[in-house]
Amino acid sequence: MTIREIETKGVLTKSNLPVSDFSVNTYVGCAHACKYCYASFMKRFTDHPEPWGDFVDVKLWPDIKNPRRYAGKEAFLGSVTDCYQPCEAKYKRTRALLEQLQGSGIRISIATKSDLVLRDLDLIKTFPGARVSWSINTLDEDFRREMDRGVSIERRLEAMRQFYEAGIDTTCFISPIFPRITDVRAIIRRAKGQCNLVWLENLNLRGDYKGRILTWTHEHHPELDTLYRDIYTRRDRTYWSELDADMRHFCADEGLPYVRNDDSVHSRHGEPPVVVNYFYHEEIIPSARKEQLRQTRICS
């Protein structure tokens, strides 16, 4: 793993995402090395010869001046990297940011695959309307190990439970859903007692990782070749339409609210989580790719 420190002009950038005013990425690159990482294309901007997942740049930025100017705004931590990846234990750049923003009145949302975020639970609790989400697209540890270097699914779920019981809004982000591999129902049943939201997102293959994923599915699940060819070569959306219908029936049976592309509906603690279908949301909201490209400017 190649780790280097880089100086940046700042760490908060105005966001194209509909769920936040600012995007925050305290690192460039990510040691989790997810095979399906949509941000891996950013490697071309980093000057790194190492493969994606084998390098991390640690951002060093000037202290934030007048943090109160962010009062009432929302920052999303982790749009193109995990702010709680392993090197955060040493460098504490995410914690430094939270300390700089504490008391400013800004709201924060954090996306992670880590339980290191537990270290900052007391600090995160001081932010109004804080939300933390964990990416969980399987309960099968063998499959998880094939796809990423993050902590185990049980550790993610345990971190989610502790945040939920501490009164912080939590989200189980079932993403990306691998057709006929990800058991969405099982994940929802496992997490529904410790989250306020469940987000569903389809596996969207593009760029150089499309070939990697299709090769992996062919080698491990050749029986799915026709389905994956239909979805990712012929652009047939029948599977996702059927999964949408299945989720509607499942959620109705489980007593879970079900909506599409709507982040405005939240459940209270102790109530069933709201399940939100974000299939092909990138065609409805500004592209996540635009958001990723914006992040490269902060390193200039």
pLDDT for position 236: 96
pLDDT for position 282: 61
pLDDT for position 263: 81
In whole angstroms, give the CA distance from residue 24 to residue 10.
10
Alpha helices in 140-232 (DSSP H): 141-147, 153-165, 184-191, 209-220, 225-232
- CATH assignment at residue 99: 3.80.30.30
Query: Nearest 5°: phi and psi at 229?
Result: -65, -40
| CA nearest to 243, candidates 146, 176, 158 | 176
Per the structure, how many domains does the chain have?
A: 1
CB atoms inside a 10 Å sphere around CB 223: 9
CB atoms inside a 10 Å sphere around CB 176: 21
- What is the pTM for the complete model shown? 0.91
> Tens-digit pLDDT profile for the chain (300 aa)?
999 999 999 999 998 777 789 999 999 999 999 999 887 777 677 778 888 899 999 999 999 999 999 999 999 999 899 999 999 999 999 999 999 999 999 999 999 999 999 999 999 999 999 999 999 999 999 999 999 999 999 999 999 999 999 999 999 999 999 999 999 999 999 999 999 999 999 999 988 889 999 999 999 999 999 999 999 999 999 999 999 999 999 999 999 999 998 888 889 999 999 999 999 866 644 444 444 444 444 433
| CA nearest to 207, candidates 113, 298, 281, 287 | 287
Domain containing 135 equals 2-297
